[in-house]
Structure 1
Amino acid sequence: MERSSDSVISLRPLDISDADDFMKWYSDEKVSKFCSWDAFTTKEAAIEYFAKTAIPHPWYKAICLSGRAVGSISVTPFRGYDKCRAEIGYVVASEYWGKGIATAAVKMAANSVFMEWGHLERLEALVAVENTASQRVLEKAGFTREGVLRKYYLSKGKPTDAVIFSLLSTDPQVNYFMDA
Structure 2
Amino acid sequence: MDQIQPPKNPTPTVTLRPCRPSDLDALVAWAWDPRILQFLRRGPLANSDEARHYLTTHILPHPYCRAICVDDRPVGMIKVNPGPAHEPFKASVGYSLAYDYWGRGIATVVLKMVVGDVFKSWAHLVRLEAIADVENPASQRVLEKAGFKREGVLRKFVMLKGEYRDMVMFSYLASDDPIIYDN
Normalising to structure 1: TM-score of the pair?
Answer: 0.93
What is residue 100 of structure 1 aligned with on the other side?
A: 105
Alignment partners' CA distance in 2, 1:34 and 1:102: 15
**1:1-180 alignment to 2 at 5 Å?**
5-174=10-179, 176-177=180-181
Cα RMSD (Å): 1.5
Alignment partners' CA distance in 2, 1:15 and 1:85: 26
1:30 counterpart SS class:
helix
| Alpha-carbon shift at residue 41 of structure 1 (Å) | 2.8
1:154 counterpart SS class:
strand
Q: Which amino acid aligns with 2:112?
A: K
Alignment partners' CA distance in 1, 2:45 and 2:114: 25
Alignment partners' CA distance in 1, 2:62 and 2:13: 25
| Alpha-carbon shift at residue 65 of structure 1 (Å) | 0.4
| Alpha-carbon shift at residue 27 of structure 1 (Å) | 0.9
Alignment partners' CA distance in 2, 1:68 and 1:102: 15
Larger % of helix: which?
Answer: 1
Larger Rg: 2
Count, aligned residues: 175
Alignment partners' CA distance in 1, 2:71 and 2:100: 15
2:15 counterpart SS class:
strand
Alignment partners' CA distance in 1, 2:18 and 2:61: 11
| Alpha-carbon shift at residue 173 of structure 1 (Å) | 3.3
| Alpha-carbon shift at residue 26 of structure 1 (Å) | 1.1
Q: Between 39-48 and 80-89, report the one with greater CA deviation.
A: 39-48
Q: Which amino acid aligns with 2:172?
A: L
Q: Which amino acid aligns with 2:153?
A: V
| Alpha-carbon shift at residue 6 of structure 1 (Å) | 2.1
Return 5+ residue gaps in structure 2 as ranges: 1-8
Q: Which amino acid aligns with 2:64?
A: W
2:42 counterpart SS class:
coil
Q: Tell me the alpha carbon deviations over residues 24-82 of structure 1, each in whole angstroms, 9 at most, x when there is no partner.
A: 12111111111101122311111111100000000000000011100000000012221
Percent sequence identity over matched residues?
A: 43
Normalising to structure 2: TM-score of the pair?
Answer: 0.92
Q: Which amino acid aligns with 1:14?
A: C
Alignment partners' CA distance in 2, 1:80 and 1:86: 11
